[in-house]
Amino acid sequence: MARLYDHHTPMSNRRSPWLTLVSLLVYAFLYAPIAVLMVYAFNSSRTNIVFEGLVNQGPCGPFYWFCRLSNNHEVLSAAGNTLTIALTSTIASTIIGTMAALALQRYHFPAKTFSEVSLYIPIVIPEIVMGIGILVLFSALFRWLNGALSLEGDRRLALGLGTVIVSHIAFSIPFVTLVVRARLHGFDKAVEEAAMDLGANEWITFWRVTLPMIAPGVLSGAMLAFTLSLDDFVITFFTNGPGSTTLPIYIYGLLRRIITPEVNALSTVWILIVLIALLVTQWLQNAEDPFRAVRILARAFSPLFQWLRPGR
């Protein structure tokens, strides 16, 4: 009887070949542009309109455009800015968002409804509205402060890394909160009460009981914040200033001039780094100790981070 059951194919696993075909086509649609992008990174034509053959120039051979990239100071400083912004805003928004999730899920306080509504606003309004809002705010604020404190020259407050980071924190908080709340939702409060009954104070309970249990949620929230920040174009576009160009902004700027295969090489490197990071986190999230992920990631990224620092 058991054997019979093993061979029985449930209806849910029977799929039509048409569905498989359509799915394969959609996957092809998703990957074709990325493949094209990567192939053109090895183009010998500088204008990069037609693929004229494999580039084979200089000491790097087919990786000519990649080598040029590694000598490009603008790219390196943009990469450094992108990582600085993403890391700083991820850390800040993860802490703030986790606090908000705890507050909303555990406590009752006067401004609760207002907080919940305000956290939904960035999700339901177009990003461009938020972007120009922040631009209007900072330009008004800086004009007033520069006048009031009579700041001159270099000391004048202007758009830059600081404004970008602060804005990225703003749009990341709601997403972190959402993810951590989802994790807290299915979490048995009795475990915390048991810890308190056994004499742990609130801090110890938080660090030893609550945080380890919600850690996967916090980590997913942080991952989400990090990718949102890396990918962001619109908010950064309106809040960056001289010296705080990020990679997406830099690539967008290049698109309006001549597009050399260097842009493709840059995109290829970006895609490969993201892919490796994804695989690593995927592998780490399956690990037993969720904090191991953070430690290993931090260790893995620190040399890269130092290497990419603009002032190097």
Partner 1 sequence: MNILKRLRDKNSRRGLWLISPTLLWMIGLLIIPLILVVITSLGQRDPDGNVIYTFSVNNYLRLIGYSFNAPCGDTPPPCFDDLYITILWRSLVLAFQTTVLVILVGYPLAYYVARAPARWRNLLLFLILIPLWTNFVIRVYAWIMILRSQGVINNLLEAVWPVILPVYTVLYNLILSPLSAFLPLHLSAPGAFQPLEMLYTPGAVLVGMLYEFLPFMILPMYTSLEKIEPALYEAAADLGASAARTFWRVTLPLSAPGIVAGTILVFIPVMGTFIVSDILGGRQVILVGNLIQRQFLDARDPTFGSAASIILMVMTLIVTIFYTRRFGFGEEIASA
279, two tokens? 């695989």
Q: Report d(CA 91, CA 165) in Å as an integer.
A: 11
Q: Between 27 and 58, name the residue whose CB sits nearer to partner 1.
A: 27
Tokens 């908000």 -> residue: 100
Contact status: 69 vs partner 1 (CB under 8 A): no
Q: Which amino acid is at 205?
A: T
Q: Report d(CA 303, CA 180) in Å as an integer.
A: 30
> Which of 276, 294, 273 is closest to 285 using CA atoms?
294
Contact status: 207 vs partner 1 (CB under 8 A): no
> Which of 225, 227, 237 is closest to 171 using CA atoms?
225
251, two tokens? 């690539």
Q: Between 121 and 191, name the residue whose CB sits nearer to partner 1.
A: 121
Write out the binding residues for partner 1, residues 126-155 only, by CB under 8 A.
126-130, 132-137, 140
Write out the binding residues for partner 1, residues 16-55 only, by CB under 8 A.
19-20, 22-23, 26-27, 29-34, 36-37, 40, 48-51
- R_g of the chain, CA atoms, integer Å: 24
Contact status: 274 vs partner 1 (CB under 8 A): yes
164: Cβ contacts below 8 Å, ≥ 6 apart: 85, 235, 236, 239, 240, 244, 246
The vertex-115 CA angle with 111 and 117, nearest 5°, equals 125
238: Cβ contacts below 8 Å, ≥ 6 apart: 128, 131, 132, 134, 135
CB 172, CB 127: distance < 8 Å: no
In the complex, least distance from residue 245 CB atom to partner 1, rounded to whole angstroms: 13
Contact status: 263 vs partner 1 (CB under 8 A): yes
In the set 170, 213, 284, 296, which binds partner 1 (CB under 8 A)? 170
In the complex, least distance from residue 59 CB atom to partner 1, rounded to whole angstroms: 27
Q: Between 143 and 156, name the residue whose CB sits nearer to partner 1.
A: 143
Contact status: 108 vs partner 1 (CB under 8 A): yes
Contact segment (CB under 8 A) with partner 1 among 53-61, 72-80, 170-178, 303-311 equals 170-178
Q: Which amino acid is at 189?
A: K
Write out the binding residues for partner 1, residues 280-299 only, by CB under 8 A.
282
CB 97, CB 183: distance < 8 Å: no
In the complex, least distance from residue 36 CB atom to partner 1, rounded to whole angstroms: 5
Q: Between 3 and 256, name the residue whose CB sits nearer to partner 1.
A: 256
In the complex, least distance from residue 114 CB atom to partner 1, rounded to whole angstroms: 8
Q: Between 58 and 193, name the residue whose CB sits nearer to partner 1.
A: 193
Q: Between 95 and 294, name the residue whose CB sits nearer to partner 1.
A: 95
Contact segment (CB under 8 A) with partner 1 among 63-71, 150-158, 186-194, 243-251 equals 243-251
Contact segment (CB under 8 A) with partner 1 among 53-61, 67-75, 152-160, 272-280 equals 272-280
Contact status: 195 vs partner 1 (CB under 8 A): no
Q: Between 58 and 72, name the residue whose CB sits nearer to partner 1.
A: 72
The vertex-121 CA angle with 115 and 123, nearest 5°, equals 120
One DSSP character per residue, 227-272 reads HHHHH--HHHHHH--TT---HHHHHHHHHTS---HHHHHHHHHHHH
Q: Between 60 and 170, name the residue whose CB sits nearer to partner 1.
A: 170
